[in-house]
């Protein structure tokens, strides 16, 4: 093995096997072409790919000729010098590719003129991109179906908890890899809803990470305490509680603090920053014997794209695609909050629809589930939660209550159950 991260012998044996074995050839062509690090071997791989794409025959002579047409003049000698065919080196080539990518990322970091935080975030995204695409499997319908049946019979564990039973039932099939978009106009309760979901989900034993681009982690934690203790948020944040109220707040803080729940200050974050924070939270939860199940991003429109685009629509599309990719690669549910278009306010019927998602149709396209929040009167105690899209479940609407002082949604008809057993509760 060369220090450069190129295993020339393994590459040669793999190319020989591609020429000889049609099935193995198809398997390797599903892998990234830069699996081959030596320039000549990469040229032969591209020649084989071009022949297969055209439906032409593949043998040593034809591959050499095609490589010459593509600009590699020493193809004849290289093909004649290939070692014995072997298909057992594919994993070695994947490892060598990752070594090369690691070296490239390290060099880029050393030469970067960006600030250290941005440079590291870009490096993290490059590392994830290097890992993606290698070893992707193509499975038969039978194999995939058997796995799906086993999961269904075992009962898929519910990831999300909202504290609203009818909504939880509607959303019961949301699972790892899903991107859930929650949309509403300002002051309707997007952040309150997301805080509630993160807290309730963590209380069920599933780790949650709340990344706020808009609010300080201390404010998010106070919201969680207010919901947990059923205390008015304004009174809690403004030091207006009596002795009994502060006692309740202290007990609630202890409960919330014991949950598998992390809060990240994500001001100005890119998708790479969010992924890096999620990876740190994942490692932290796993060290404690738990797992990360949910990542909340508040909110999508104020994220910074990794690459500047000509229009904001394209930037939002880039961001939503990156969040969906993160959900799939990390096996978590990503909840991204989203603003709705201002034009909604001028309509007679102000109930939101998918068309109201702001700045990009890509949000609707990338999302597995879209939830839209609506309160007819900002000061009223009624709320309507629309499940406007759900790839794996039903759509429809759920009526709920809104408790403004504690900034929490609830089930209609439910009486408040005091977790502390006190007779007097601040409502």
pLDDT in the model for residue 135: 45
Does the domain spanning 8-131 belong to CATH 1.10.860.10? Answer: yes
Average pLDDT on 91-101 reads: 69
pLDDT tens-digit map of 316-344: 888 888 888 888 888 899 999 988 878 77
Write down the domain spans for the chain: 8-131, 157-411
pLDDT in the model for residue 333: 93
pLDDT in the model for residue 426: 41
Does 3 score more than 50 pLDDT? no
pLDDT in the model for residue 127: 56
Q: Check if the beta carbon of residue 373 is closer than 8 Å to that of residue 356.
A: no
| Residues ≥6 apart with Cβ < 8 Å to 103 | 4, 5
Q: Which fold has domain 157-411?
A: Rossmann fold (3.40.50)
pLDDT in the model for residue 239: 86
User: How far is it, in rounded angstroms, from Cα 414 to Cα 427?
Assistant: 14
Output the CA–CA distances (angstroms, integers) from residue 322 to 16, 128, 136, 173, 240, in the order listed: 37, 11, 18, 22, 43
| Residues ≥6 apart with Cβ < 8 Å to 216 | 265
Output the CA–CA distances (angstroms, integers) from residue 108 to 101, 116, 134, in the order listed: 10, 12, 22
Domains 8-131 and 157-411 share a fold: no
pLDDT tens-digit map of 367-376: 899 999 888 7
Q: How confident is the model at residue 13 (pLDDT cuts 50, 70, 90)?
A: confident
pLDDT tens-digit map of 14-59: 888 888 877 777 777 767 777 788 888 888 888 888 887 777 888 8
pTM above 0.85?
A: no
- Looking at 90-99, 174-183, 211-220, 319-328, which range is the least confident one? 90-99
Residue 391's region, left for phi above 0, alpha for psi from -120 to 50, else beta, is alpha
Q: How confident is the model at residue 266 (pLDDT cuts 50, 70, 90)?
A: low
pLDDT in the model for residue 295: 93
Average pLDDT on 373-382 reads: 77
Average pLDDT on 370-392 reads: 83
The enclosing H or E element of 384 equals: strand 382-390
Other C-beta atoms closer than 10 Å to the C-beta of 321 total 16
User: How far is it, in rounded angstroms, from Cα 44 to Cα 52?
Assistant: 12
Q: How confident is the model at residue 10 (pLDDT cuts 50, 70, 90)?
A: confident
pLDDT tens-digit map of 249-258: 888 899 988 8
């Amino acid at each position: 093995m060369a220090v450069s991260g190129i295993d020339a012998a393994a590459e040669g044996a793999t190319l020989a096997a591609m020429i000889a074995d049609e099935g193995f050839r198809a398997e390797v062509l599903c892998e990234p072409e830069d699996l081959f690090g030596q320039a000549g071997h990469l040229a032969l791989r591209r020649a084989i790919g071009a022949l297969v794409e055209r439906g032409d025959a593949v043998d040593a002579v034809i591959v050499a000729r095609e490589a010459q047409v593509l600009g590699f003049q020493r193809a004849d000698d290289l093909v004649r010098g290939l070692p014995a065919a072997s298909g057992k080196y594919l994993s070695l080539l994947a490892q060598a590719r990752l070594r090369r990518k690691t070296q490239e990322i390290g060099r880029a970091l050393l030469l970067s003129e960006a600030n250290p935080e941005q440079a590291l975030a870009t490096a993290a995204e490059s590392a994830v991109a290097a890992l993606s695409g290698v070893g992707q499997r193509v499975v038969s319908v039978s194999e995939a179906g058997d796995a799906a049946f086993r999961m269904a019979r075992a009962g898929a564990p519910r990831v999300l908890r909202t504290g609203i039973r009818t909504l939880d039932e509607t959303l019961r099939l949301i699972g790892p890899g899903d991107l859930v978009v929650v949309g509403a106009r300002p002051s309707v309760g997007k952040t309150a809803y997301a805080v509630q979901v993160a807290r309730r989900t963590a209380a069920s034993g599933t780790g949650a990470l709340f990344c706020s681009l808009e609010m300080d982690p201390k404010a998010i934690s106070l919201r969680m305490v207010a919901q947990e203790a059923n205390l008015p948020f304004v009174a809690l944040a403004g030091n207006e509680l009596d002795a009994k109220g502060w006692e309740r707040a202290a007990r609630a803080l202890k409960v919330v603090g014991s949950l598998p729940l992390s809060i990240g200050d994500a001001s100005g974050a890119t998708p790479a920053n969010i992924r890096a924070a999620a990876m740190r939270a994942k490692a932290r939860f796993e060290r404690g014997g738990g797992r990360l199940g949910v990542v909340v991003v508040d909110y999508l429109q104020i994220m910074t794209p990794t690459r500047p685009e000509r229009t904001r629509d394209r930037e939002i599309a880039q961001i939503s695609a990156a969040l969906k990719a993160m959900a799939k690669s990390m096996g978590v549910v990503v909840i991204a909050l989203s603003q709705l278009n201002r034009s909604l306010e001028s309509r007679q019927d102000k109930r939101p629809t998918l068309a109201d998602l702001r700045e990009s149709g890509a949000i609707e396209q990338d999302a597995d589930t879209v939830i839209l929040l609506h309160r007819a009167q900002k000061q009223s105690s009624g709320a309507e939660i629309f499940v406007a899209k759900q790839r794996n479940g039903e759509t429809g609407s759920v009526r709920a209550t809104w408790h403004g002082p504690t900034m929490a949604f609830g089930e209609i008809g439910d009486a408040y159950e005091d977790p502390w057993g006190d007779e007097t509760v601040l409502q």
